Structure 1
Amino acid sequence: MDGETSSRPKDTPAPDYAIPQAPFYSIEYPGYVAEGSVPRAIEHLGGQRSLDAAFKRNASKKETLLELNFRPGNPFSHPIPGDVTSTDNILMKVTKRKRKRNSAIEGQPLGEYTVELMGVIPKTARFRSMADFQFQPDPNDPLVKLRYALDHLDAKAIREFQISPEKEDYYVEENPQEPDQDGDIQMGEPSKRSNLRLFPPPIFGRQTIAQVYNFKANPGSIETSIVDEETGEERKRLINRSRWKGFAPVSIGFWDPTPDTPPKNALDAASSVNPDLLSRLKEHFNTRPVWSRPALLNQFAPNEQRALLNAKQTLPLVSYIFQDGPWRDTNVRLGYDPRTDKEARFYQRVYFRNVNHEKQRTSFIARRSTLHDRMVDSNAERTDDALPSNRSHIFDGRTRTSQTASFQLCDIQDPMLIKMIHSEEGLRDTCNEQDGWYTSHALENLKTVLRHKFFNLLEGNVVSDEECEALLQTAEGSTRPRPANRTLNPRKHNMAKGALPPEEATAARLRSVIGKRLGTVEENRDSMDE
């Protein structure tokens, strides 16, 4: 055993080679470079000045950006962006020894290559981005000539430029020449090409790095055989078994007939619905045929709310939705038509936009465990304790519940507004597409008071009924056109909102604040006089 070990040659360490510290910079040029084409390659990179700026020490990120332009001097050429990165490479010089054909020099090694270390490469310019699409417009176009003149500061060409009249020749016919079997040129059928004189944008594609696209067949797809009804031939087809199937209530317009049955896909999935949840949902719709989404969700516990939203096929089994009109975006019991029942006026929806409020989405647990007024600025003046979020659909004129005004008339509990809602003076005989069962005058007065109370409540001010009555008298004497004189908006989803213009809403809030402060000053003055 010892003899075998001693007979083995001892391992000798590899020799050490000193690396010269002379720095070199390399460029990974995406093209062929020969000894005579180096100046051309440098020109494509922007010249020696651009290279010096990119590789200089302590260069900024902007200075290290290189652009490779294969058509230098052409303003319509899109370059390839490159980056200068730090590397730890070594530059080696490889020399191939040349021999004469009939000479055999004794004592020379058999190797034909010699390697010599030249230095280190601390920086390397790389072009890893994809080249952008290229488009060259007609060089004879006057605008193209003007673009070249601007680049070369050709004052004469710029001064002589004139805008030519538009000929509207957007298509140009051309006769392609095609060689026949004998090689003779034959005139082909005339064709048309575009002559729109389009100029390329600064960049076509924003995707600079190629995406990793590993094609893989959809595991949820199966191959089935179908028979063509016209030809009777059998062919193969892929069907996705796991495709998404959406469940949503039937959506109708104001003039569409009333649906009385759920959609077919919801009926097919009815067996997967929680029967207790469906039973409770039917009870609520039997008690009240029209519900807004927040009002309906507030009737359930947080876990039931999650179950109701996760089971998308539950609501379509009992309700449908109006996409416009006075009951826009409300869930209506299947078979019930609020357009024929005058008592349905209490379910009409009133909506105001709050442009200063950024929409926030909170979880159901957070909505139940916290108060909605925590989303309001903590420095704002508070009136009463905010209602819990399960009453966020109710407006009583004194408690701030949400940042957006979206209420059904039956959910308004303010005494002054209740009188206006139940008043039978401003009712119609037939339902209107925009105002429902109310006249335009009555509904506009109701919206004016509700809007004034709501936006003042957001600022911490409780508006009195006397102030609202004065506001109605001011509105009666204004010259602003009434809604009855307005034309319907062709975009139906904007109907029945009735929002004031931003400048009028701001002016109304400003008048309210000034009035409050003037009242406070007068009270202090009276107390001082006493």
Structure 2
Amino acid sequence: MSRQLNFNLGREYELIEYPGRVVNIDRMEATLGGIVNISKVLDDEKKRLELRFHPENPYNKPTFGDCTDKSGVLLSVTVRRHKRDKTRPPQHFVRLLGYCSRSFSFESLCDFQYLPLWHQPKSNDALVADELSYALPLVKPSDVTDLDYFKRKESQLLCLPELFARVDIVHGGNFRIDETEDGQQEVLGVVTKTTYDNHDIVPFNMQDTFPTQPDAQILKRLKIKYVSDEQFMRVKKLFAESPVWTRIALLYESGVTNDKLKCIIPSLAFYFSNGPWRTLYVRYGYDPRKDFKSRYYQTFDFRLRFGSGVSEFVYSRKSAKLKKSLTGAADDSKNDLVQNIDYPYFEEHKLPRSRQCMLRYCDVRLPKIQEMLEKIPTPLTGAVCNERTGWLPPSFDSQVRQVVCATISELLRNHYRKEHLTAEVDAVPQTDVDGEGDVEGEGDGDEEYYGEDEDMEIDESAANETFDDKNIEQLLNNMTS
């Protein structure tokens, strides 16, 4: 076999990787917009090449070809074989026709394609199948001089969306698999990025050392933000009393505004992004891994579902903030049942401030829970905390959630019983001492105590209904544990 090579760079070509089998070159050029449109795209480095599978149909979204740098050559290979002597090896003549430095490839998503088709019955016989007809002339005029189209009294309607996909670039999602995770833990991780960019954010682990002092740039920023010494000392005193705090607790106890607190905290504490003390601020130099008392400061993440028993009272934090700003100190009776949105603790006789509360275990002011924390046995000498559960035993958070949910259920149970008794009293007609007639809205001033909630409608038939524990349980069955 012999080869003859002819190296001549020749002319430069443009490579278009057409996503289909080309049988007719003219029809292929029509799907790309014609030779004129192709030339315009090739002259501009930023334009994308449009490919329409139905060039004459305006109701289809084109797929776009992106220009990428790709080197290649165009070769012409000629093979000559001896006609008489079949044993002779063939001769190959290779000729270089040209080269290319870029390529247009169609790797984007192709959106939905539509054709204006309508069913038209062939006859009045219901057994005969309808036939489809291409009704583009009935949908749009052929040109501006198509007077027949504008003289029609009724026309076919075709309402299509402009596009379905917001983007036409394929993104591959690769999920990281943690091989050490056994799926038995109930600790929820932080899934959203923190909104503060000036915190010293530290991931929790059992090997690294935690920072002992703030960065120099943080101290410099503290002076620029005009934070007074009094405000700084307030927050510093709180960290001297307790080494770990939540942000809402610092706002409540210090009385410092949020914008000032965002400048003060990074100079006194760092922020845990995960682990048993996640979303909490820890004083510089304090290592909760070495202090058994730090179990009181571990994160307790409590969440409520959108259940019928709680959703009418407890809102999300954003909604509660908005409602508070609009109504101010509202006189709604529900405010007496729900904790203030800015109060950082969980009390025994109040509902949670929002549907998700990030608390320390010491912030849950229930005697039973504090007793459970006290009864945890002191670890042996040399023992270390767990990377996920800290100093607390496994499933301790589940037990705390059960106690909190039982407290909330009992609180709501008493509230609904009280409302039912109020409805019964309001439904019974009251008379005066002399028996001259009914009295409505007069008397000893109990109207405010027995008043109806603005969101509830109570009629006289409510007094005849039985309201036992089964009815109450139906209202509480959607609350989380």
- TM-score normalised by the shorter chain: which range applies? 0.3 to 0.5
TM-score (norm 1): 0.41
- More relative contact order in 1 or in 2 (CA 8 Å, sep 6+)? 2
TM-score (norm 2): 0.44
